[in-house]
Amino acid sequence: MYAEVLIEYNSKAVDKTFTYIVPEALISKIKKGMKVRVPFTNKIINGFIVNILPSYTSEYDLKEIESIVDEYLVLNEEMLKLGSYLQEKTLCTKIAAYQTMLPSSLKVKDKKQKDYSKYLEYIELIADGNTIKEYINKHKTAKKQIEAINILKIERQLKSSISPSVVKALKEENLITIVKEQIYRINKKEKEEEKITLSKEQENVLNAIDLTKQDTYLIHGVTGSGKTEVYMQLIDRVIKKGKNAIMLVPEISLTTQIINKFYDRFGNDVAIFHSALSDGEKYDEYLKIYRKEVHIVIGTRSAIFTPLDNLGIIIIDEEHSDTYKQDSNPRYHAIDMAIFRSKYHNIPLILGSATPSLETMARALKGVYKYLEMKKRIGSAILPKVDIVDMSIELKKRNVIFSSLLKEKIKERLEKKEQIILLLNRRGYSTVVTCKNCGYTYTCPYCDIALTYHKSTNNLRCHYCGYTVIKSDMCPECQEKSLDDRGLGTEKLEQELKKEFPNSRVIRMDTDTTRNKGSHEDIINHFKNHDYDILLGTQMISKGLDFPLVTLVGIINADTTLNMPDFRSAERTFSLLNQVSGRAGRSGLLGEVILQTFNPDNFTLSCVKTNDYMRFYTHEMSNRHKLNYPPYYYITSIKIASKEYELASKEILKVKRYLDSNLSKETIILGPSTAAVFKINNIYRFQIIIKYKREPALNNALKKLDEIYMNNSKVNIEIDNNPLHV
């Protein structure tokens, strides 16, 4: 028997299969899609079996497969096909596609596969009654041994609970045995039966979804309309039919609450996947799937690849989230993968959001997706009232961070023992540090970006490459003590908040406070328990969270996202502000939102104020139409990157000429220009944007370009279909 093996060698030049002999001992075990170790050049490396051949003739001496990496690691037929689709969509290598589809802990490099299994060891009494009696009679003085025996007569005990010397003594007499039992790190919780009466809107949505065939549905439901409950009802129906479900959520900060809801409802029928799990935890969760012990998988983006078979539904919550697109290779979008899988299984795909992406909404209105709407909040809860505050007027009153209105409202909530969420979409202490004397600004030597000051560590950091420098008292340029920091980050906001409201309990959630494992969860649980009055943070706190006591949301500076130079900045702003506003007043207590801005007349903000998605959508669509942007046009971005400035600028011109002569006249080719951040990590980046409605020649042209730079060590090409940022 022979096997064609795709080897794990991440260079496009060897992205092909090699044939190996399957040794006698492995013949019964080997399967298509299995990960194996094979000799290649002078090393032993990993590979995937993509085909099994009964016979094969070759003029070369073939080598043998060395071993199987893990019998659980099998990409089934569907996964192998999905891999090809992923490759076609993103132009990545085949091997990169398959690697993406397996959890990272299981991606071994050149080491032997590590055993991630976790065990508990128990002691069990095995001797019969007579033997035990005899032993006790003979060892009357061995108090500890006898005590242990008496305990073990009732039930087995954890090995760690009995002293090693006692264990040794009893074992020598063959009275006990040690049982090793594999356990899961993330453990089952008890189900809670809960009686829920669905709202009319929830009923209608549920009844409109046909579980027996493929269709993509958009559930457009305002914040707090009870979408999560709809997802759980759908999944419940699917499980009752004996099928499985995958649900994607955008970020870990969000998973805590949703996962708890699912544990409460479905008990241990849930496996979870996100980047904050340890390798061991991931391994365990994967095992639950392989052993068919769970019907439900909840996870972030890459969970769309979980090898659950017999799928009955796929749900993507907060479908508009940027996190569903991977921003490194392979640049896939989870929705594309979900559509592929839902077609493969002939099952519904559910996209849910309060603020659907324009692309999704356009498809829903055209009938490509089925449109379902939920307009009202659950029960007596109503959408919060939004007030826009003009910060230029406040500045004249010397209110730099908090407007009078926001201060007053915060005070009021603190007195009423209600909770507050404050959004500031910028971490760190201040945004720039400059010298008042000579004008020097701290910038990153490797990237063209200003450094952000972090006060707690007294250093300045580059948020792109991580470069860090200690802040000195004097200006590094003119040596005067005249450094000044401007701009506001979450760290400074926290400090100012404590100054302004000394008796309030404040907790901050951003990338800097959530580096440790479990810290997301801690913050959310503490806030939920009302150990804190105010939760402040970056966009991390904007989505999905459900705290009944939150009645005030303050948006400290609505302009940070509004002013981004990107055609999607209005859409992102609307979605972020609408989502964060949606955290207020979810339980029947009236919610209020104070939105601070220097652009009080801005159209997007006025739509946030009236919570009018359709008004925003219509207006923004007409902008996109005028400027030939998605969803009217598709976009592909091509970046050329090199350490050598001259070389990069020369190559990007070549790319431009190639595209000009190979693509049709109707296709718009913009650039070359410098990329939004021109230099990152000392690498210069130029970019070309291609806009097209239909361009049959594009895929071939991109493949050609990719091939040209494949083995060029000085110039890198980065192709991104439907980029999120341009």
Q: Distance between CA atoms of 51 and 3, rounded to whole angstroms?
A: 6
Kindly tell me which of 223 and 514 has the beta carbon lying closer to ligand ADP: 223
Q: Report how far residue 561's alpha carbon sits from residue 569's, in angstroms, rounded to the nearest whole number.
A: 6
Q: What's the closest the beta carbon of residue 546 comes to ligand ADP, in angstroms?
A: 5
Pick the stretch among 18-26, 219-227, 566-574, 716-724 that binds ligand ADP (CB under 6 A): 219-227
Total residues binding ligand ADP (CB under 6 A): 16
Q: Which residue is nearest to Zn ion (CB)?
A: 462
Binding flag, residue 226, ligand ADP (CB under 6 A): yes
- Residue 444's binding partner, choosing from Zn ion, ligand ADP, none, with beta-carbon cut-off 5 to 8 A by kind? Zn ion
Rounded to a whole number of angstroms, the minimum distance from the CB of residue 225 to ligand ADP is 4
Return the one option of ligand ADP, Zn ion, none that residue 467 interacts with (CB less than 5 to 8 A, by type). Zn ion
Question: Per rule CB under 6 A, is residue 581 in the interface with ligand ADP?
Answer: no
- Residue 228 touches which of Zn ion, ligand ADP, none (Cβ within 5-8 Å per kind): ligand ADP
Which lies closer to ligand ADP via its Cβ, residue 383 or residue 507?
A: 383
Strands of 623-725 (E only): list them: 634-642, 668-680, 683-692, 715-721
Residue 267 phi/psi, 5° resolution?
60, -135
Interaction partner, residue 226 (ligand ADP, Zn ion, none; CB < 5-8 Å by kind)? ligand ADP
Shortest reach from residue 611's CB to ligand ADP, in Å = 13
Place of tokens 């100054």: 499
Q: Minimum distance from CB of 200 to ligand ADP (Å)?
A: 10
| Position 379, amino acid | G
Token reading at 95: 């091997």
- Using CB under 6 A, which of the segments 226-234, 472-480, 551-559, 697-705 binds ligand ADP? 226-234
Pick what 546 binds: ligand ADP, Zn ion, none; C-beta below 5 to 8 Å, kind-dependent. Answer: ligand ADP
Site for ligand ADP in 171-200 (CB under 6 A): 196-199
Query: Sheet holding 157-158: strands in order across?
Result: 157-158, 118-125, 176-183
With tokens 């019969």, the residue in question is: 128
In angstroms, the CA 651 to CA 635 distance is: 21
Is 221 a residue that touches ligand ADP (CB under 6 A)? Answer: yes
Binding partner of 465, given Zn ion, ligand ADP, none, CB within 5-8 angstroms per partner class? Zn ion
**Shortest distance, position 47 Cβ to Zn ion, whole Å:** 37
Which partner, ligand ADP, Zn ion, none, binds residue 225 by CB below 5 to 8 Å per kind? ligand ADP
CB of 118 to ligand ADP, least distance (A): 33
447 binds, among Zn ion, ligand ADP, none (CB under 5 to 8 A by kind): Zn ion
603 binds, among ligand ADP, Zn ion, none (CB under 5 to 8 A by kind): none
State which residue, 460 or 605, has the beta carbon closest to Zn ion. Answer: 460
Which CB atom, from 579 or from 597, has the smaller least distance to ligand ADP?
A: 579
The option from Zn ion, ligand ADP, none interacting with 199 (CB < 5 to 8 A, set by class) reads ligand ADP
Which of 576, 647, 582 has the alpha carbon at shortest distance from 605? 576
For position 546 contacting ligand ADP by CB under 6 A, the verdict is yes
Judged by beta carbon distances under 5 to 8 A according to partner kind, the member of ligand ADP, Zn ion, none in contact with residue 413 is none
Strand ranges (E), 459-531:
459-461, 468-470, 483-486, 506-509
Residues 425-443 as b/e (b if ≥16 CB within 10 A, e otherwise) read bbbbbbbbbbbebeebebb
The nearer residue to Zn ion, 462 or 724, going by C-beta atoms, is 462
Binding at 697: pick from ligand ADP, Zn ion, none (beta carbon under 5-8 Å per type): none
Q: Kindly state whether residue 228 participates in binding ligand ADP, applying the rule CB under 6 A.
A: yes
Query: 200 or 626: whose CB is closer to ligand ADP?
Result: 200
Q: Please state the closest distance from residue 678 (CB atom) to Zn ion, in A.
A: 12
Residues 323-382 interacting with ligand ADP (rule: CB under 6 A): 378
In sequence order, the 6+-apart residues with CB closer than 8 A to the CB of 64 are 20, 21, 22, 23, 39
* Residue 585 makes contact with ligand ADP by CB under 6 A: no
**Does residue 224 bind ligand ADP (CB under 6 A)?**
yes
In the numeric block, the tokens 């020598």 are attached to: 172
Asked if 191 contacts 266 with a C-beta cutoff of 8 angstroms, the reply is: yes
Stretch that binds ligand ADP, among 37-45, 51-59, 227-235, 451-459 (CB under 6 A): 227-235
Which residues of this chain interact with Zn ion, rule CB under 5 A? 444, 446-447, 462, 464-465, 467
Choice between 202 and 514, CB closer to ligand ADP:
202
CB-CB contact of 182 with 190 (8 Å):
no
Give CA separation, 164 vs 29, 138, 144, 168, 547, in Å. 40, 21, 11, 6, 48
Kind and range of the H or E run holding 151: helix 143-154
Q: Which residues contact 598 (CB under 8 A, 6 or more apart)?
A: 390, 391, 392, 559
CA-wise closest residue to 73 among 222, 283, 234:
283
Task: State the first-to-last Cα distance of the chain, in angstroms, to the nearest integer.
Answer: 50
Q: Which is nearer to ligand ADP, 228 or 611 (CB)?
A: 228
C-alpha 459, offset from chain centre: 28
SS (H, E, C) 564-622: CCCCCHHHHHHHHHHHHHCCCCCCCCCCEEEEEECCCCCHHHHHHHCCCHHHHHHHHHH
Looking at the Cβ atoms of 225 and 302, the one nearer to ligand ADP is 225
Sole binder of ligand ADP in the list 223, 255, 300, 642 (CB under 6 A): 223
CB of 518 to ligand ADP, least distance (A): 23
Does position 710 interact with ligand ADP (CB under 6 A)? The reply is no
Distance CA 463, CA 485 (A): 17
- From the list 225-233, 408-416, 468-476, 594-602, the region that binds ligand ADP by CB under 6 A is 225-233
Nearest distance from C-beta of residue 381 to ligand ADP, angstroms: 7
Q: What residues form DSSP beta bridges with 216?
A: 349
Residue 542 interacts, among ligand ADP, Zn ion, none and using kind-specific CB cut-offs from 5 to 8 Å, with: none
Q: How many CB atoms are closer than 10 A to CB 390?
A: 14
Q: How many residues does the chain have?
A: 726
Query: Exposed, middle or buried: residue 539 (CB in 10 Å: 0-12, 13-18, 19+)?
Result: buried
Q: Pick one of Zn ion, ligand ADP, none as the site partner of residue 462 (Cβ within 5 to 8 A by kind).
A: Zn ion
Residue 670, contacted partner among Zn ion, ligand ADP, none, CB below 5-8 A by kind = none
Residue 643, beta-bridge partner list: none
Cis peptide before 631 (omega within 30 of 0): yes
Please report how close the Cβ of residue 445 comes to Zn ion at its closest, in angstroms: 7
Q: Which amino acid is at 145?
A: Q
- Between residue 373 and residue 392, which ones bind ligand ADP under the rule CB under 6 A? 378
Other CB atoms closer than 10 Å to residue 354's CB: what's the count? 23
Binding site for ligand ADP (CB under 6 A): 196-199, 202, 221, 223-229, 378, 546, 586
